[in-house]
């Protein structure tokens, strides 16, 4: 019993690392640009297909193709902000929601057209490898994904707190007009924020590829968890999203283990409703931390 609990917690933390990359991206865009990106999961999907094709065509390991998917998605993010999001920012909530929702549907359907609905997997030497600690099994591919996710989160935190551009991003998130008075060009800072967010989604995609199949709708799985984590972690709070994602992963995993294989989400949404009832603003304070 105790081993089963420990196993479930370990599994949950490992997948929670992936959730955190997606939710940090969502919360960063929301915190800085003030827009809810419903298409974030589709950028995970794009990251997966990038790694899938680099693996099948050129035999490049997904962990290596992270170095391709992240910059490619960073650039896509900059372009997305510059050509689409920027144009709807002044228009209010509805056009913004329609924009990212339409983008999500568009990307899923384009993927369906180009790649079919088939599940695509990549076999790596470590895909089936596992470490045994006591009675607990740790899948190597998931462990690597978790560690890289935590390192990327840490790098983002350092960027936000120790670089001028990162501080400018936090300043622009808190007060766009006054940020301009400081000499900060909000268009530039917003484009970088969206670029970084999408790069994190791309990283999640590449990290998933060794142990998770790619298919056109795969992003939906992750974006759902990400949105729950973003709300629990307080909208716009990067560290909050990280911690909440790990909690979500564990809650889901415990649900699967002890309620039923299809019941992981029941526990997750029960947690969401409970939190919203008790602390509607999420578990953590505002921005920055």
Partner 1 sequence: MLTVAGVSAGYGSVPAVHDVSITVGEGEAVGLLGANGAGKSTTLRAISGLVRPTGGAITFGGTAIASMPAYRITELGIAHVPEGRQVFPELTVQENLEIGAYIPAARAERRRTLDLVFTLFPVLAERRRQLAGTMSGGEQQMLALGRGLMLKPRLLMLDEPSLGLAPVVTDIAFEKIREIHAMGTAILLVEQNAGRALALVQRAYVLESGRVVLQGSSAELANNRQVQAAYLGL
Residues that bind partner 1 (CB under 8 A): 164, 167-168, 170-171, 174-175, 177-186, 286-288
Q: How far is the CB of 34 from partner 1 (least distance, A)?
A: 15
Q: Nearer to partner 1 by C-beta: 50 or 192?
A: 192
Q: How far is the CB of 82 from partner 1 (least distance, A)?
A: 15
Q: Nearer to partner 1 by C-beta: 30 or 43?
A: 30
Q: How far is the CB of 188 from partner 1 (least distance, A)?
A: 9
Q: How far is the CB of 182 from partner 1 (least distance, A)?
A: 5
Q: How far is the CB of 283 from partner 1 (least distance, A)?
A: 17
DSSP secondary structure, 63-75, as one string: HHHHHHHHHHHHH
Q: How far is the CB of 106 from partner 1 (least distance, A)?
A: 32
Give residue for tokens 């199949």: 213
Q: Nearer to partner 1 by C-beta: 7 or 174?
A: 174
Q: How far is the CB of 49 from partner 1 (least distance, A)?
A: 37
Q: What would the two tokens of residue 171 be?
A: 């300043």
Q: Nearer to partner 1 by C-beta: 13 or 172?
A: 172
Q: Nearer to partner 1 by C-beta: 166 or 205?
A: 166
Q: Nearer to partner 1 by C-beta: 181 or 278?
A: 181
- According to DSSP H, which parts of the chain are helical? 2-33, 40-58, 62-80, 86-88, 93-115, 140-162, 164-174, 176-181, 186-208, 218-232, 238-258, 264-278
Q: Nearer to partner 1 by C-beta: 31 or 47?
A: 31
- 140-144 contacts: CB < 8 A, separation 24 or more? 141/210, 141/211, 142/11, 142/14, 142/15, 142/211, 143/14, 144/63, 144/207, 144/210
Closest CA to 186 of 51, 89, 43: 89
Q: How far is the CB of 161 from partner 1 (least distance, A)?
A: 8
Q: Nearer to partner 1 by C-beta: 103 or 169?
A: 169
- CB-CB contact of 186 with 180 (8 Å): yes
β pairing state of 130-133 and 136-139: antiparallel
Give residue for tokens 């695509």: 120
Q: What is d(CA 17, CA 59) in angstroms, rounded to the nearest whole number?
A: 26
Helix (H/G/I), strand (E/B), else coil: 131: strand
Q: What is d(CA 50, CA 192) in angstroms, rounded to the nearest whole number?
A: 21
Q: What is d(CA 275, CA 90) in angstroms, rounded to the nearest whole number?
A: 32
């Amino acid at each position: 019993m105790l081993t089963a609990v420990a196993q479930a917690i370990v599994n949950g933390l490992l997948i929670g690392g992936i959730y955190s990359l997606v939710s940090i991206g969502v919360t960063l865009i929301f915190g800085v640009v003030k827009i809810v990106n419903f298409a974030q999961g589709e950028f995970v999907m794009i990251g997966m297909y990038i790694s899938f094709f680099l693996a099948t065509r050129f035999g490049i390991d997904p962990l290596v193709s992270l170095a391709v998917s992240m910059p490619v998605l960073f650039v896509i993010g900059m372009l997305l902000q510059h050509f689409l999001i920027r144009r709807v920012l002044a228009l209010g909530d509805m056009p913004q929601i329609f924009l990212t929702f339409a983008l999500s549907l568009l990307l899923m359907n384009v993927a369906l057209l180009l790649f079919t609905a088939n599940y695509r997997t990549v076999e790596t030497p470590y895909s089936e490898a596992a470490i045994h600690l006591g009675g607990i099994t740790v899948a190597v591919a998931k462990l690597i994904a978790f560690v890289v996710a935590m390192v990327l989160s840490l790098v983002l935190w350092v960027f936000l707190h120790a670089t001028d551009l990162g501080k400018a991003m936090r300043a622009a998130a808190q007060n766009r007009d006054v940020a301009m008075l400081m000499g900060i060009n909000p268009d530039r800072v917003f484009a970088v924020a969206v670029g970084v967010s999408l790069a994190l989604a791309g990283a999640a995609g590449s990290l998933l590829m060794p142990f998770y199949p790619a298919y056109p709708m795969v992003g939906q799985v992750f974006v759902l968890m990400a949105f729950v984590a973003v709300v629990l972690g307080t909208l716009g709070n990067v560290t909050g999203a990280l911690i909440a994602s790990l909690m979500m992963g564990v809650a889901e995993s415990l649900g699967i283990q002890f309620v039923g294989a299809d019941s992981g989400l029941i526990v997750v949404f029960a947690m969401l409703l409970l939190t919203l009832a008790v602390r509607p603003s999420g578990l953590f304070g505002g921005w920055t931390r």
